[in-house]
Homo-oligomer: A and B are copies of this chain.
C-alpha cells in the first residue's frame, strides 16, 4: 500500500502518522519526491481501511498494490481449485452443466425436469425453493416443501442439487442440499456469508448486479476466511444502461477472474440474457472464454412457469444445446 502525502503536509502530523503505522507493526518505506512524498507500507495491509488513511489531513491519496483478498488470491494458490461434489468435479478443466427450473413447483415438474436434464447431460439439478422476487405480491417459492420436492428429485435421479438460500435462519433446512447458492442480491449479505464460512459444503456465489470483480472476490473471501474454501463464482449479468437485454453478461469476467483467483468460475446465461434465444450464443461464448461451467434454466412447460419462463428452455431445446455444449467443450479443450 502506498500513501501519497499532500504537498504541503504538516511535518509533525506526518511524523505522528509514521509512528502510528510503525506501532501497528508495519515497515515503512519512505520516498520524498518533488512532486509528492510517499510512504510505502510493508506487511499485511488487508485489515487496513484506505478510508481511515484518506481521512487524515496530511494524506492526498492511498493506492493499494496488493489485492485485499488473500485466500481467494491466485498468487497465494497458483493451482486451480477443483471442487468435488458427490464425485462430480468442477474447476481445473472439469466443465459442468447445472440445469433445472427457476422455481420448484410440483413433484412431477421437478422430477420430470430432473430426469430430462440428466438424460441430456447435466450433472447437477438446480431449482429454487426460496425465490427473491422484486414484488411481495409475486410467487415466493414453496420454501420447505420446495426443498423436500427437490430432494425427492435428487433421490429419483441421483443428481446432486443446487438451491438458493435467502436467510441464515433457513440453514438447518439445507442439510441434504449439495451446493448452496447465494443469489446476486445477497452477494453482500455479510452475515449470511459468515455463516456459510462455518459449514463444509460448496457455495455457489453469484455476482451482484452492480458489484465489481474485486467485491465478488471479497465476498468469496468472507466465506473462505471462515474456513470453507469450496466457493464457485458465478457471473450472471450486470446492470448497465442497455435496455434490450435484461442484464449485460460481463464475459470478460471469466478471463479476468481466472487471472485473479484459483476458484472455479461459471456463467448463468439464462439470467444474463433474460430471453430464451440468447441462451445458446451466450453459453457457447462462455465456454470459448474459458468458463468452468454453465447454469441453465430448463422447464418442462415454460409457458406455465411460475417465474422466469421467458428465459427457460424446453427439455428439447436443452437437448439440442447440450449437444453443442459438449462438442464445444471438447473442441476448446483440444484447442488450448
Contact = CB atoms under 8 A, between A and B. Distances in A.
Interface of A: 2, 4, 27, 29, 31-36, 38, 40-42, 46-47, 49, 51-52, 54-57, 60-61, 63, 65-66, 68-69, 130, 132-140, 166-170, 185-186, 188-194, 208-210, 212-215, 218, 221-222, 225-226, 238-245, 248-252, 254-256, 259-260, 272-273, 276-278, 281-282, 284-290, 302-303, 305-312, 324, 327-328, 331-332, 335
Contacts of A272: 252
Contact of A34 (B2, B42, B256): B42
B332 A284 contact: yes
Contact of A33 (B42, B132, B335): B42
Nearest to A284: B288
Given A212-B242, A240-B241, A245-B252, A281 B289 contact: yes
A210 B213 contact: no
A148 to B, nearest CB: 19
A285 B289 contact: yes
A15 to B, nearest CB: 14
A285 B285 CA distance: 4
Question: By CB atoms of chain B within 10 A, which of A27, A56, A61, A285 has the most?
Answer: A285
Given A169-B169, A222-B136, A286 B284 contact: no
A132 B276 CA distance: 36
Given A46-B135, A249-B250, 16 more contacts: A29-B31, A35-B41, A47-B135, A51-B307, A51-B311, A52-B305, A55-B276, A55-B311, A132-B190, A134-B188, A136-B194, A137-B225, A140-B190, A167-B189, A238-B241, A245-B256
Copies of this chain present in the complex amount to 4
Given A188-B132, A286-B285, A255 B277 contact: yes
B47 A138 contact: yes
A288 B287 contact: yes
A248 B167 CA distance: 30
11 contacts: A29-B31, A51-B307, A51-B311, A55-B276, A55-B309, A68-B134, A238-B241, A240-B240, A245-B252, A252-B282, A256-B278
B285 A136 contact: no
Nearest to A184: B188
Contacts of A281: 254-255, 288-290
A255 B282 CA distance: 8
Nearest to A167: B191
